[in-house]
Amino acid sequence: MNMQTKPPRTAAEQAILDSFTEMLGHLPGDAPVTSARDNLLYGISESGLPTRRIESWHYTDLRNLLRGEPAAPGGTAAKLEPLVRGSLVLPVVQGQSAELSPPEDMELTPFMDLLVSGEAAKLLSERGSDDLIGRLNGAFVGDGYSFGIGEGVDLEPMIEVQSVQSGGQAHNRFVSKFGAGSKATVLERHVGDDANAGLSTSISTLEVADGAEVTWIILQKRGVADQHLAQLSARLGTDARLRVFVINAGGKLVRQELHVEVAGEGAHLDLRCVNLLAGDSHTDVTFTLGHNAANTTSSEIVRNVVLDRARGVFQGQICVAQEAQKTDAQMACNTLLLSDDGEFAAKPELEIFADDVICAHGATVIDLDEDHMFYLKARGISEKSARSLLVNGFVDELIDELESEELVEVLETLVEQWLVDHA
């Protein structure tokens, strides 16, 4: 009889288990919460970190890439000024939320309060056996926010959710609900520094009710040695509209998962993603979309800029259920590969069980157009400036789709500065 033996634990796997033992007495929650944490950690202990043998982690062998875990606590961090003036800032600094007074149209609760009361126990679960982020975050989550926008409310100020960290560990959870016919814009901002290596996990869940319109922007700018594992899950009701915009511009090891269920007829999803990759970083964006109702639409465009020895991944899967007739789903991944040592892997997938749909996907990998470069240099523009102009144009086309002119200007400036620092 053949007995399969588990491979010996890696340093990172052992550090996770040791860290849980050390932190358990300080993690908030009642008995059901503690039980849920134990179950999730047991899953990590039994399965270990995912390897390339697991299909959804094929391009991000976390068992080899996650080298260790920073000890808690880390350095000193502070709340940041909002990117857009007048925004309502929900800060989580070094893993801890703040007591705030929200507008009258908004409900707001620190996630720690839900842990302490036990209400969060039902939220600490995994999406499946390959959900390492759900397990890790659920086992260690200490704070975050739960917030809701009422029916018919058009929330004027942008909400800026800040996760600011300097080394150590931070495990945050953001739970949001947008009432029927409501409208809101949320900026989820992750910031680290280069002084201290940190590990962060973050899970955001969105309930977008019938007829609601939500723009959710994720801006990830962790430090050069940081490890950042994040997940966004969203469910769209009838005629709901969700625009998700992601910019990855930092981190040593980054995995950003996006899981969306289009559950109501007439709902629409837009995904726009920009990955700015340099150094020896590894960034993985994994996206799953379920069209589960008739007459629904979606559009996904991913743009990647790869320099140095950076490695990037985009896995995009669209599944159209049998009842989702008249679905229109379009997905594209375009990469500027500007280094012989850089890599980018694209894996788009369609699973279609309906027979009256319009679905397509595509992926391209290119260098800068030599004719365009020649045109710019012939007019006295230096080669470096010409490259920056073309790269900016490649990325800014997506950023310009955002409605806020101030936010567009801020994000375009961020891209320009990234090119100055890395190109």
The CA-to-CA distance between both ends of the chain, in Å, stands at 57
Cβ atoms of residues 185 and 154 within 8 Å: no
pLDDT at 3: 53
Q: One digit per residue, pLDDT tens: the chain, 423 residues?
A: 455 677 888 989 999 999 999 888 889 999 999 999 999 999 999 999 999 999 999 999 999 999 776 655 567 889 999 999 999 999 999 999 999 999 899 999 999 999 999 999 999 999 998 999 999 999 999 999 999 999 999 998 999 999 999 999 999 999 999 999 999 999 999 999 988 899 999 999 999 999 999 999 999 999 999 999 999 999 999 999 999 999 999 999 999 999 999 999 999 999 999 999 999 999 999 999 999 999 999 999 999 999 999 999 999 999 999 999 999 999 999 999 999 999 999 999 999 999 999 999 999 988 776 766 666 667 777 767 777 778 888 899 999 999 999 999 999 999 999 998 887
Distance CA 381, CA 301 (A): 30
pLDDT at 1: 45
Distance CA 107, CA 360 (A): 40
Distance CA 118, CA 30 (A): 6
Amino acid at 272: R
Distance CA 165, CA 191 (A): 6
Distance CA 284, CA 313 (A): 5
Cβ atoms of residues 71 and 168 within 8 Å: yes
What is the distance of C-alpha 271 from the center of its chain?
12
Please state whether 39 falls in left (phi above 0), alpha (psi between -120 and 50) or beta.
alpha
The closest alpha carbon to 189, from 230, 150, 140, 128, belongs to: 230
pLDDT at 420: 87
The helix (H) or strand (E) run that includes residue 339 is: none
Distance CA 357, CA 295 (A): 9
What is the distance of C-alpha 283 from the center of its chain?
11
SS3 track for 204-268 = EEEEECCCCEEEEEEEEECCCCCEEEEEEEEEECCCCEEEEEEEECCCCEEEEEEEEEECCCCCE
pLDDT at 385: 73
Kindly state the tokens that stand for 318.
Answer: 């669209």
Kindly state the tokens that stand for 403.
Answer: 């409605």
Listed by start position, the domains of the chain span 11-264, 369-423
